[in-house]
Structure 1
Amino acid sequence: MVPSPHPSLASIVDAALAHVPALSHALYNGIQDELKSRLEHHQLLAGWSKRRAQFAPDLEASLNQLLAVARTGRDPLHRDRPAAADFSDLKLSLVDESQALKDVAIAHVITAIEDHSRAELHQLGNFFAALRGIARPLKNDNPLRAAVFAQALSRAIEGVDLDPEGRAALMRIAAHPLAIKLQPIYAQLCAELRQAQLGGLLTSHGSALKESDLRQRQFKTLTESATPAPTPAATLDQVALKLDLMNTRAASLPPAVAPAATPPVAMHLGPGTGAPGSDLLSRLYDQILADDRLQPPLKVLMGRLQVAIVRLSREDASLLRRQEHPTWLLLNRIAAHGAGFQRPDDADLRAFLSFLEKTIQPLLDSAHPSALQFQQALVQVDAHIRAEAEARGQRSAVALERLDREQRRQEWKRMLRDQLQHQLDDAHAGKLMRRFLLGPWVEVIAQAMVQHGRDAVHAQSTIELVDALLHSVQPHEDEASRQRLRAQLPALIRALDQGMDSIALPQIQRQAFMDELMRQHGRVLRGLPAVEEAEAPPAPAPKGPALTPEEVLQQLLDERESQLPSRWAHERVDRGQLPTVPVALYSEEHSPHARAALQDWIASVQIGGWYHLFLQSEWITAQVAWISDSRQLFLFVGQMPDERHSMTRGALEQLVANGLITRLEEEALLQRAIGTLMQDLDRAG
């Protein structure tokens, strides 16, 4: 294709569109070769073979659709979220384990593409950002970014006749050949831009960066996270020791050769400046206020709080020895919550600042603040953050509680059948009654629990009706008890009708049971047993003949085969560049330590915490606003209040195990300040 003398967004996207047919066909061949060359992929062949002829056309159609949107200047991946369930007046996007598996696979494809075309993607990102007049490339500036091709691949594979684990496995298989085939396409597009004398645009945003800074910035573009490389976990004691050593060394030098004095810090300690630890506190607080990840309005507030901390340091020696001191915990908590807001003028951030002003005022007014006062302020801040998070999720609470109960329907039905089984063993109520109670009526009770709650009055009344029903078909020997039963039967029948209505029991089943119940009640009211003769409980199924050794072996092989697909759910996406997520700690499928660590991580999720996570092809920042009582369902509310994601525990475990979720501010504000200060002292020493 002849390069345009004046390349534009449309012309570059058109150039990419010209490669789509060849790319789709080449990827089809790449998947075919991979599936045939590896024995462990044989379980995917059957599903793939049924739809493989449609794969290339489906992929081509998906790419054409996405790139056609990109050609108009819109973001091809900006769309309404799928998998929405309509509850009450809200649409809640439910992320279950199947969706999480898809997200894990998409992230794997994105990583593979970026690893093979990092330089080219950086250059294209600069070009498209320059076309929009943006000084710094943002994640959505490049309409040809890796996520677009990963999403098109995911759509094409949706048609393959495989379960979610199988489709995720097929995505991972396709990642490498797709990355290989895309790299020369990206390279050719960059070459055409250079031929058009646009080299300056390609390098303008990154020419002054060192190679290490460039890699960090590229990764930040993918994750939207400003997580720096981890610093050594220095402690306050180590910093103090280093500072004392430097001061001692400087004092021992002759005046003529003494080094220049350390530049003065911005903090003024007032009386007692020469007190032990004042230099350390000054330097440490300077680093805190210089932290570029701290929201500017919070820096102002912490600057005011500095006065109270200095007063505290004169009377509380533990302040500079304990990183768990309430003072530092308070600063860490404020900074961590502030990291969840994108803009300094965010209305919720302003409300948080207004609350903080009132909370810290007693600390500023006190001439001798204590650690207890800081602890009380910390408790107030934690309570405020939790209350605000719950308020953000309050509109969804009723719907989510219903959704959580729906998740537990099968568990409740199993429990109810077990309990009724024991109750019916001694009731001698007849086969039809037994089938009704263990079948439709279990559905009625479970439906009441889902609709109203497990302990709701309505649910309990459906359970109590079992006792009333069984009592009604027991022998009533005297006329008085039979008359009482006769008076109770109309209410019992109405309750049964209402229960059967709640599950829309078919009329044939309903009529058969009601006819049998009427017959039994007729016998009881005449002083006869409800059933003509006692029915022996069903005999256990006879055991078959003993299996031969060959049959035992075949059974074991069949069971093993049935377990093979489960391994696809646990393959790890390599996101080692995200230092705050120790993926290996959680991803060892058969390790009890990994499982325990994963459960501990899930248990640590609390309402109010901010997280950075990969959902439905993009990285988002969201706050936990609600957790179900069973901890099987979690609500995340994004930075825009209407952006809500309800997530099952299984989905959350998948993201954790694959390194696709991390807490914001995992490394606390104080620890970052200590690490930076230690580096400065090392360089100065």
Structure 2
Amino acid sequence: MSFLKPPAELQQFIDDELLRMPLVVDQTLDGAIDRMRQSLPTLAPQPRASTADVLQALGNNREHLTDYYLRSLKRQLADRAQANTGAPALPSTLSLVDEDSVAIDVELSHVIELIRSTAEYELRELQTFTAALVGDMDLAHDHNPFGPAQHARALWAAAQALPLSRGHQLLFMRNAAPALAAALRRAYAASSSRLESLGVTPAAYRTMILPSGARRSRRPEISLGAGLDLVRSAVAPGNELGFDGPALELEPALAAPPGSQDTPAGERRAVELLTGLFDAMLADRRLAQDIALMLSRLQSVATRLVLREPRALEDETHAMWRFVDALAHLGDVLPPQGNPERTQTLRFAQGLVEHLAAEPAPAAPLFDWAAERLQHQAQHRFARRCTDAAAQIAELQRLEERLCSSAAPPSTMGGALDIAQLDTVPADLMPADGPGEPRDALAWLQARRPADWVHVFLQGRWVKAQVLWPGELGELWLLGDAESPETWAVRRRALLTLRTEGLLATLKPRSLVRSAAKRVMRRSFQL
């Protein structure tokens, strides 16, 4: 199978880094050995024996660990190249994710976060250089092929070269993580220096340019937690966006067209403010390019609606903003660009956008209708996905009955490490749930329904997944990947552990206009 190769400059960077990677692995192994040796006198008898076993296995299998580490990095590079082709991934064999598998995911998340926090500055600097290698001067994506997640997965691959239990392998991983983070910090800094010496000009983080002609003055800091409520201050006398005159109070029937010299001041302020909000939304780096194009097509109809319904500028729950959020969410839960399903679905959404754009006198019910059409289309896609997974669901039903009627199988951890020993995942690694979500893990799980979307850390990576089947007895859950045909059968206790550790949350549409309002106001105070 052939894959698209990265640009020549980036490929040369990859080749150079792979040549230097054995040194990173050596430094990691040396650091792990030193850390475990120093800890031996302070350990209780059982942990001391486990640590001694790991030290002995490291001495006998050091070359194998290096080989496994490098092979994992190369395999991930191949997978990355395949993903860049846009070709749909082949469905994998359904496997059961249990508590032991989740313990590995929890530890992987800790390694990723430790690398990020230790080498935060070096990672950001290297990201600007790797973006420049592929011509992404706005840093729209992270093009570093050797990021924290890739190295964390490679470390786990190396751990599996130890002929010991899973618990011993995780014990090695925990002791190796600090040394790996320190080694990568040095490696990232050295990579940036080499690229700079080669004359590579780093990219710059893109900034949002507000509409020209707006006058801005410095004002005291205010709280930015109110979303579109900030619009009230933006249209008040002496506001930060530079509008003069009274607060926005428009009548629905204003005859003068936008751009006319006789256009009322209130209309001008409304149009300028809406333009600033759309500029901020379109500058959101999380927004997919194809979705951004559709949103830009909506700006004209949004302007006509705001002139008829000025209160839309103060209400983030208005039907127009809900439709905008539904479009952005659609971009988040569809397969990547180039996938036929994404193309077909967005063609349907584009038809709705064109229908809205052609309406001379838009109103809220029209956007409600469009949002309902999107929802019906999503239900159709969910039903088709469940049909495709019918055989898996039937198999899981039989397995669930057997699991609930028999004793739990023995753990593969070998008693060397318990999930309870793992630290809590840092809160900033996991996106926050929406309002009203239960805090208790069991209550949250019981509140999930078929077709719900979740953000979950599974098998060493963050995935957006849909609940295809919650299990008739609640013991097994079938989740479907948003970006591929891949599915996971996950045990209830594994889901509860993920939720408790902060690695599982609800994936709901986010408010684009709320974020845009905050960016507009924050930018105003900085100028």
Q: Same fold (TM over 0.5)?
A: yes
- Give the secondary-structure state (helix, strand or coil) at the position aligned to 1:75: helix
Of structures 1 and 2, the larger Rg is shown by 1
- Specify which of 24, 27, 36 is matched with residue 31 of structure 1: 36
- Give the secondary-structure state (helix, strand or coil) at the position aligned to 2:67: helix
Name the aligned partner's letter for residue 235 of structure 1.
G
**CA contact under 8 A between 1:236 and 1:320: conserved in structure 2?**
yes
- Number of the residue aligned with 1:298: 291
- Specify which of 53, 65, 69 is matched with residue 66 of structure 1: 69
- Specify which of 629, 636, 643 is matched with residue 486 of structure 2: 643
Q: 1:150 to 1:374 in 2, by over 3 A?
A: same
Alignment of 1:568 onto 2:411: no
**CA contact under 8 A between 1:236 and 1:323: conserved in structure 2?**
yes
**CA distance in structure 1 between the aligned counterparts of 2:75 and 2:136, rounded to whole angstroms:** 14
**CA distance in structure 2 between the aligned counterparts of 1:193 and 1:304, rounded to whole angstroms:** 40
- Number of the residue aligned with 1:376: 369
**CA distance in structure 2 between the aligned counterparts of 1:356 and 1:147, rounded to whole angstroms:** 38
Q: CA deviation at 1:336?
A: 1.3
**CA contact under 8 A between 1:339 and 1:665: conserved in structure 2?**
no
Q: 1:400 to 1:272 in 2, by over 3 A?
A: farther
- Specify which of 305, 319, 323 is matched with residue 326 of structure 1: 319
- Give the secondary-structure state (helix, strand or coil) at the position aligned to 1:244: coil
**CA distance in structure 1 between the aligned counterparts of 2:149 and 2:294, rounded to whole angstroms:** 42
**CA contact under 8 A between 1:97 and 1:648: conserved in structure 2?**
yes
- Number of the residue aligned with 1:234: 226
- Give the secondary-structure state (helix, strand or coil) at the position aligned to 1:614: strand
CA-to-aligned-CA distance 1:404-431 (integer Å, 9 cap, x gap)? 44234343579xxxxxxxxxxxxxxxxx
**More helix per residue: 1 or 2?**
1
Correspondence 1:388-467 to 2 at 5 A: 388-412=381-405
Correspondence 1:109-128 to 2 at 5 A: 109-118=111-120
- Number of the residue aligned with 2:93: 91
- Number of the residue aligned with 1:655: 498
Q: State the TM-score, normalizing by the size of structure 1.
A: 0.56
CA-to-aligned-CA distance 1:330-351 (integer Å, 9 cap, x gap)? 2111111113457554432322
**CA distance in structure 1 between the aligned counterparts of 2:13 and 2:439, rounded to whole angstroms:** 53
Q: 1:344 to 1:109 in 2, by over 3 A?
A: closer
- Specify which of 342, 346, 361 is matched with residue 353 of structure 1: 346
**CA contact under 8 A between 2:323 and 2:367: conserved in structure 1?**
yes
**CA contact under 8 A between 1:613 and 1:620: conserved in structure 2?**
yes
Q: CA deviation at 1:67?
A: 1.9
Q: CA deviation at 1:102?
A: 0.1
**CA distance in structure 2 between the aligned counterparts of 1:232 and 1:247, rounded to whole angstroms:** 15
- Number of the residue aligned with 1:337: 330
Name the aligned partner's letter for residue 426 of structure 2.
D
**CA contact under 8 A between 2:233 and 2:239: conserved in structure 1?**
no
- Number of the residue aligned with 1:509: none
Q: CA deviation at 1:669?
A: 1.1
Alignment of 1:159 onto 2:164: yes
Q: 1:598 to 1:143 in 2, by over 3 A?
A: closer
**CA distance in structure 1 between the aligned counterparts of 2:331 and 2:166, rounded to whole angstroms:** 46
Correspondence 1:578-617 to 2 at 5 A: 580-581=431-432, 596-599=439-442, 601-602=444-445, 605=448, 612-617=455-460
Alignment of 1:17 onto 2:10: no
- Number of the residue aligned with 2:197: 200
RMSD over aligned CA atoms reads 4.8
Percent identical pairs in the alignment equals 22
Q: 1:301 to 1:367 in 2, by over 3 A?
A: same
Q: 1:303 to 1:581 in 2, by over 3 A?
A: closer
**CA distance in structure 1 between the aligned counterparts of 2:283 and 2:127, rounded to whole angstroms:** 30
**CA distance in structure 1 between the aligned counterparts of 2:354 and 2:23, rounded to whole angstroms:** 64
Q: 1:325 to 1:650 in 2, by over 3 A?
A: farther
**CA distance in structure 2 between the aligned counterparts of 1:132 and 1:250, rounded to whole angstroms:** 41
Name the aligned partner's letter for residue 64 of structure 1.
D
- Specify which of 506, 514, 518 is matched with residue 671 of structure 1: 514
Q: CA deviation at 1:572?
A: 0.7
Q: 1:598 to 1:192 in 2, by over 3 A?
A: closer
Name the aligned partner's letter for residue 243 of structure 1.
V
Alignment of 1:146 onto 2:151: yes
Structure with larger RCO (C-alpha < 8 A, sep 6+): 2
- Give the secondary-structure state (helix, strand or coil) at the position aligned to 1:138: coil
Q: 1:372 to 1:400 in 2, by over 3 A?
A: same
Q: 1:396 to 1:154 in 2, by over 3 A?
A: farther
Correspondence 1:462-477 to 2 at 5 A: none
**CA distance in structure 2 between the aligned counterparts of 1:193 and 1:314, rounded to whole angstroms:** 51
**CA distance in structure 1 between the aligned counterparts of 2:314 and 2:300, rounded to whole angstroms:** 19
**CA contact under 8 A between 1:75 and 1:140: conserved in structure 2?**
yes
CA-to-aligned-CA distance 1:526-578 (integer Å, 9 cap, x gap)? xxxxxxxxxxxxxxxxxxxxxxxxxxxxxxxxxxxx9x945225x21225265
Q: State the TM-score, normalizing by the size of structure 2.
A: 0.69
**CA contact under 8 A between 2:107 and 2:170: conserved in structure 1?**
yes
**CA contact under 8 A between 1:47 and 1:161: conserved in structure 2?**
no
Q: 1:92 to 1:635 in 2, by over 3 A?
A: same
Q: 1:67 to 1:153 in 2, by over 3 A?
A: closer
- How many residues matched? 468
**CA distance in structure 1 between the aligned counterparts of 2:198 and 2:123, rounded to whole angstroms:** 13
Q: 1:198 to 1:312 in 2, by over 3 A?
A: closer
Alignment gaps of 5+ in structure 1? 1-6, 81-88, 213-230, 254-266, 415-561, 586-592
